[in-house]
Amino acid sequence: MGKLNHSDVVHLLVQLGIMLIVGRILSETARKFKQPAVVGEILAGILLGPTILGMIQPEWFETLYPTSSDSGIVLTGLVQVAAVMLLFIAGLEVDLHIVWQQGRQALSTSFFGLLIPFSIGFTFPYLFPDFFGIAPGQQPIIFALFMGTAMAITALPVIVRILMDLNLFKSKMGMLVVASAMVDDLIGWLIFSVILSLIGKGNDNMSFLSTLFLTLSFAILMLTVGRSLLNRALPWMNKKLAWPGGILSISLALCFLGAAFTEYIGIHAIFGAFIIGIALGDSEHFSERAKEIVHQFINNIFAPLFFISIGLRVNFIANFDLLLTLAILAIAFAGKITGSGLGARLGGFSLRESLAAGFGMNARGAMEIILGLVALENKLINEKVFVSLVIMALITSMVSGPMMKWVLKLK
């Protein structure tokens, strides 16, 4: 095992400390304005990164976060692990039980909530790839497929928080929105994994068809056989291993192994973590308390590191394109509100409730940012598109609650 020298260790610890402190201050500020923590964390990254600190005091920024240093490599590794863990808890949040409970109604809402934003998100970038910032050398169809997926995905935690705030979580509409968002996320990440395999960033020895077959097989196997095996093993773990240490380390170990497997077969590691999260979280023996501990651990330590790191690597002012951002915002709002609203309406909800469901599903939040970052790293999009996607994710998350409240005429 390699070793960091003394100054690199100090450097890394200072980097992490500053990131967590500034992230906490700004996420607390966001909380005061009833906004998700991710808004503050992204702002913290912008503040510490090339956008503000790098512009005002370039030498400070270079000293604090040098582009090439051993501590920087370790930090990058930590951020990658954070992304894997974030997708793991996103998987834990997918409660298939709620999806089956809602039945066909959830499937119809999620179908339209996926189809329409995906279609609009696919069509415009496919027709105008240059305007939408296709990365050089990238195929328009793959780029358009990604943009369609980016428009179709939702932010489950944001939706849940809004529904809880509005006291609608346990309502029929609330449960339908949650179930539909879960289905959309599952399918969205499946499509995205296939797109990643299409651009061939993984194992070069495997063909696209082999990778596709392995992706689907892995997902299906983990959600059936794997889920069943975990369901049988968990009671034993709960009984024999120390709590919560046992369940925490075993679940994270499974998450990393699943992530390693999908990375090996040519898809991104986050997909494996997501599927393992679903399989584990769906077990009746994985208690709510255990979920809460995993949530606290990842959401308060690794999530801030991940979201702050985004601002550290991208200059948000230099890469801000007003027209592109407005176009992405328009497509995001139109596609998701129309699609999910139509799905809910066909599912038997009133016009007002359907619109509210559409506004709720429109929140993109953290998931969009992770998706965008993976696409950026794989050179599927350029930095301008990424900045626009981050802004879209933040704006949709910030306005969903007030818009739902307004349309439902709640005080």
Contact with other proteins (CB under 8 A) among 5, 10, 31, 257: 31
Residues 202-231: x/- map of binding to other proteins (CB under 8 A)?
A: ----------------------x-------
Counting contacts by CB under 8 A, is residue 55 touching other proteins? no
Chosen residue from 123, 141, 169, 212 binding other proteins by CB under 8 A = 169
Q: Using the rule CB under 8 A, is 170 a contact of other proteins?
A: yes
Binding mask 263-302 for other proteins (x = CB under 8 A): ---------------------x--xx--xx--xx--xx--
The 10 Å Cβ neighbour count of residue 101 is: 12
Burial-class residue 306 by CB neighbours within 10 Å (0-12, 13-18, 19+).
Answer: buried
Q: What is the closest distance, in whole angstroms, from the C-beta atom of residue 167 to other proteins in the complex?
A: 8
Minimum CB separation from other proteins for residue 155, in Å?
11
238 binds other proteins (CB under 8 A): no
- What minimum distance in Å lies between the beta carbon of 161 and other proteins? 4
Can you tell me which of 17, 103, 235, 245 binds other proteins, judged by CB under 8 A? 103
Candidate segments 79-87, 159-167, 185-193, 236-244, binder of other proteins by CB under 8 A: 159-167
Residues that contact other proteins, how many (by CB under 8 A): 32
Dihedral sign, CA of 370, 113, 358, 336?
positive
* Residue 157 found at the interface with other proteins (CB under 8 A): yes
Q: In whole angstroms, how close is the CB of 33 to other proteins at the nearest point?
A: 11
Say if residues 250 and 241 touch (Cβ distance below 8 Å). Answer: yes
In whole angstroms, the minimum distance from the beta carbon of 48 to other proteins comes to: 20
Site for other proteins in 334-393 (CB under 8 A): none
Q: Is 183 in the site for other proteins (CB under 8 A)?
A: no
The answer to the question of residue 93 lying near other proteins (CB under 8 A) is yes
Interface residues toward other proteins, by CB under 8 A: 27, 31, 36-37, 93, 95-97, 100-101, 103, 156-157, 160-161, 163-165, 169-170, 178, 224, 284, 287-288, 291-292, 295-296, 299-300, 303
